[in-house]
């Protein structure tokens, strides 16, 4: 069974541009989570989607946004890129329910120059 | 609000010795607790979780963790460390209202031959 898949693996953008990252959850999972892992800052929660709806949002500016599609895949959009947005963006998925394990993809490296 | 503390940035042990990676948490209600491992330039891999029941939880690769409600701790342990266990370890907590998991800052485990 395929795990969580993310694309692209690496992305280089210029400050001010927009970046779009994509995530396909494990088959049958309805929840998708996005985390940012910047160097030295640990994992910071970005967004949680479940059944196509945004359920929770971390402490990030509005230029971080996303959506979940009917097939439960998701994309994360980052507008007006800033240098400090350079990080590993991790997507995770789970079945609904708080006790269920979230499983991570390998991440997308975003570098803003 | 929920939080996780991993008081040690680094843990060094000799191969064959027991290892402990510490985690304490704060959450309202009953906690769901998780341990993940991250190898360089990779996503997070699930090791084990505590939902309810036996306070000693066994997981992948010979790891186990002990839930202590009175001390609000969930320390990760392994009886005999391997060099290949060297990695970054994250503890995470989620409350019963579902949604986001909050991660600790991570502990780098180095096992020396």
Question: Which pLDDT score is estimated for B22?
Answer: 98
| Closest Cα in chain B, distance from residue A64 (Å) | 17
For residue A84, with 0-12 CB atoms within 10 Å meaning exposed, 13-18 middle and 19 or more buried, which class applies? exposed
Q: What is the mean pLDDT of residues B37-41?
A: 92
| Residues of A in Cβ contact (< 8 Å) with B106 | 42
Contact at CB, A101 and B34, closer than 8 angstroms:
yes
Whether A36 and A47 have beta carbons less than 8 Å apart is answered as no
Residues paired with residue B14 on neighbouring β-strands, in sequence order: B112
B75 Cβ neighbours under 8 A, 6+ residues apart: B20, B21, B22, B23, B65, B66, B68
Q: How confident is the model at residue A42 (pLDDT cuts 50, 70, 90)?
A: confident
Indicate the residue of A99, A103, A104 with minimum beta-carbon distance to B51. A99
Q: What is the mean pLDDT of residues A82-93?
A: 97
Question: Which pLDDT score is estimated for A95?
Answer: 87
Q: Is residue B95 pLDDT above 80, yes or no?
A: no
Question: Which pLDDT score is estimated for A1?
Answer: 67
Whether B109 and B87 have beta carbons less than 8 Å apart is answered as yes
Question: Which pLDDT score is estimated for A98?
Answer: 66
Contact at CB, B100 and A42, closer than 8 angstroms:
no
Q: Phi and psi (nearest 5°) for A97?
A: 110, 135
Q: To which H or E segment does residue A86 belong? A: none
Indicate the residue of B98, B100, B104 with minimum beta-carbon distance to A45. B100
Q: Is residue B66 pLDDT above 70, yes or no?
A: yes
CB-based contact (8 Å) between A4 and chain B? Answer: yes
């Amino acid at each position: 069974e395929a795990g969580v898949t993310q694309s692209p693996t690496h992305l280089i953008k210029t400050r001010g541009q927009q970046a779009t990252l994509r995530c396909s959850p494990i088959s049958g999972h309805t929840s998708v989570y996005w985390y940012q892992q910047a160097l030295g800052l640990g994992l910071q929660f970005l967004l949680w989607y479940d059944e196509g709806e945004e359920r929770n949002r971390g402490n990030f500016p509005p230029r971080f946004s996303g959506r979940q599609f009917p097939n439960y895949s998701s994309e994360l959009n980052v507008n007006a890129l800033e240098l400090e947005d350079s990080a590993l963006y991790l997507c995770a998925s789970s079945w609904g329910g708080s006790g269920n394990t979230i499983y991570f993809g390998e991440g997308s490296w975003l570098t803003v120059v | 609000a929920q939080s996780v503390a991993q008081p040690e940035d680094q843990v060094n042990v000799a191969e064959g010795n027991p290892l402990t990676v510490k985690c304490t948490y704060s959450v309202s209600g009953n906690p769901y607790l998780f341990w993940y491992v991250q190898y360089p330039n990779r996503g997070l891999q699930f090791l084990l979780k505590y939902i309810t029941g036996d306070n000693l939880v066994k997981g992948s690769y010979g790891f186990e963790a002990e839930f202590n409600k009175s001390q609000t701790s969930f320390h990760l342990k392994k009886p005999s460390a391997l060099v290949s266990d060297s990695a970054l370890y994250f503890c995470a907590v989620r409350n019963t209202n579902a949604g986001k998991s909050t991660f600790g800052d991570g502990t780098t485990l180095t096992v020396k031959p």
